[in-house]
Amino acid sequence: MSGVSLLAYADRLCDSGRAVGDLTTLRKLLAGELSVLTGVHVLPFYTPYDGDDAGFDPVDHATVDPRLGTWDDVRAIAAHTEVTADIIVNHVSAHSAEFVDWLERGEASAHDGMFLTFDTVFPHGATEADITAFYRPRPGVPFTPYRARDGRRRLVWTTFMPSQVDIDVRHRAGIAYLEGLADTLAAGGVTTVRLDAVGYAVKTPGTDSFMTPDTLAFVAQAAEIIRARGLRVLVEVHAHYSQQLAIAPLVDLVYDFALPPLLLHSLGTGRTDRLAHWLGIRPANAVTVLDTHDGIGVIDAGPGAGLPGLLTEEEMAAVFARAADATGGHSTLASVTPTWASMPHQINATFFSVLGGDTWRMLLARAVQAFVPGEPQFYYVGLLGGLDDRDRFAATGQGREVNRHRYTREELDRALATPVTRGQLALAALRRHAVFGGAFSWSQPDEASLELVWRSAAEGGTPTHEARLLARFDEPDFTITLDGAEVPLDG
């Protein structure tokens, strides 16, 4: 896929006079004001799109939420734009028909075995050490009591929220569920499947059950199932960079989640050594991001898995501190520290807020993202120059909601006219140029700068092209040239 794709919720970009967006509004935007974008990752649009975890807790993963549209609407987008969609493989809503049926009928349920219980993981019981070994992204323990219809009490594995019940991905019922979803998405016109939170999917007693060899084996198996339907596989893992490197060869795409904290580090310190180091070792089959619906994932650049990070713990702490500074302390308030962690995994703030609303620094970061090999993805809030939605955080108590603003048509129109959005759309237009299918090279002219270059060789009648980004971070500035001529970013 060439060009830049959008990451967006179907419901949070609204048409004129509408309080909630839908797939039709999104299609019109992608055909209109955002037509320069070549792909879209529509965040979960299944039923319901607005559960406890904003779509990541589907009750019916196979249907499009009727408030957003139908599979025909998804196919209509896919007719002109590459579509990425999620398969939520680790868990499903406790209100799903499958889980309700299992609580109701137990071993007589067709879904018996689909859900992971305490006894499935620990058939001989567990001690404190066994239970506390698990790595998880939320506070508390990873299981929740439920009562079956026959009065039997069950402890169901819940890695994320208590209402998100974990699927036993090693049981045939769990595999059948995954196969069914892959069929559904392929029929819906989706071309890339994002496997959500797959790093937690396999529980192996005696380990921390995060990105273990068992996890990698399951990822390979899931990728095979999905590819067999003609779909590409994008894997979402927030983890130490060595774990990203380990999983990259098994799938079509991983995320480059290290890039945003490294950019924030460079913008904060004026130095490019950490970033340059990453350019030398990062996987090229990556979706690049600055911001996502989950906030700014800082953990990915830090130490972990017993290994040093791309940033030290002190440097990560400084990234958090600068974000707190830029947001008047709000990012600290909104970010969550998981049970065994010493700092949050993610900064809950918009990328633009963390940069103090500075247009030029935002465009510098986006320019680097656009020039780094991979498939650039722009999150709608970042693209629209969104600042922290503190009201939404206050109303919901959910830190990540600061970075999930729902735009009215009027707000959207205002945003589209701002330099920060026009500049990003200009970068997206540039990124469609054939030169980005050529050869990439980079250098570090001095300790505060980076130069990123793409060249396409002459072939038949096609002339040689060269795109070049020179970025400096001590006094943040950058220039882009295409075939020697400066590319303006005023849209």
Catalytic center residues: 196, 236
154 in contact with a copy of itself (CB under 8 A): yes
130 in contact with a copy of itself (CB under 8 A): yes
Place of tokens 């959008």: 6
Identified binder of a copy of itself from the candidate list 140, 249, 308, 329, rule CB under 8 A: 140
Q: Which x/- pattern over 209-238 shows residues binding a copy of itself (rule: CB under 8 A)?
A: ------------------------------
127 in contact with a copy of itself (CB under 8 A): yes
Nearest approach, Cβ of residue 208 and a copy of itself (Å): 11
Identified binder of a copy of itself from the candidate list 122, 360, 440, 442, rule CB under 8 A: 122
Residue 341 vs residues 104, 135, 347, 379, 393: alpha-carbon distances, Å: 37, 9, 14, 27, 23
CB count within 10 Å of CB 196 equals 21
Nearest approach, Cβ of residue 135 and a copy of itself (Å): 11
The tokens for 226 are: 């999905």
Helix (H) or strand (E) holding 216: helix 213-227
Nearer to a copy of itself, 138 or 455 (CB): 138
118 in contact with a copy of itself (CB under 8 A): yes
Asked whether the bond before 48 is cis by omega within 30 degrees of 0, the reply is yes
User: CB under 8 A: which stretch of 7-15, 55-63, 80-88, 115-123 binds a copy of itself?
Assistant: 115-123
Place of tokens 């999620």: 86
107 in contact with a copy of itself (CB under 8 A): no
Cα–Cα distance, 258 to 297 (Å, whole number) = 8
Nearer to a copy of itself, 100 or 126 (CB): 126
Is-contact 74 45, C-beta < 8 A? yes
Nearest approach, Cβ of residue 132 and a copy of itself (Å): 4
285 in contact with a copy of itself (CB under 8 A): no
339 in contact with a copy of itself (CB under 8 A): yes
DSSP-assigned states of every residue in 359-379: HHHHHHHHHHHHHSSSEEEEE
203 in contact with a copy of itself (CB under 8 A): no
CB count within 10 Å of CB 258 equals 26
Nearer to a copy of itself, 122 or 442 (CB): 122
Contacts of 64 (CB under 8 A, 6+ apart): 23, 45, 46, 47, 70, 71, 73, 74, 188
Residue 14 vs residues 75, 77, 106, 139, 165: alpha-carbon distances, Å: 20, 16, 43, 34, 31
User: CB under 8 A: which stretch of 72-80, 119-127, 246-254, 476-484 binds a copy of itself?
Assistant: 119-127
Identified binder of a copy of itself from the candidate list 17, 32, 153, 461, rule CB under 8 A: 153
Binding stretches for a copy of itself (CB under 8 A): 117-119, 122, 124-133, 139-141, 143-145, 147, 153-155, 162, 339-340
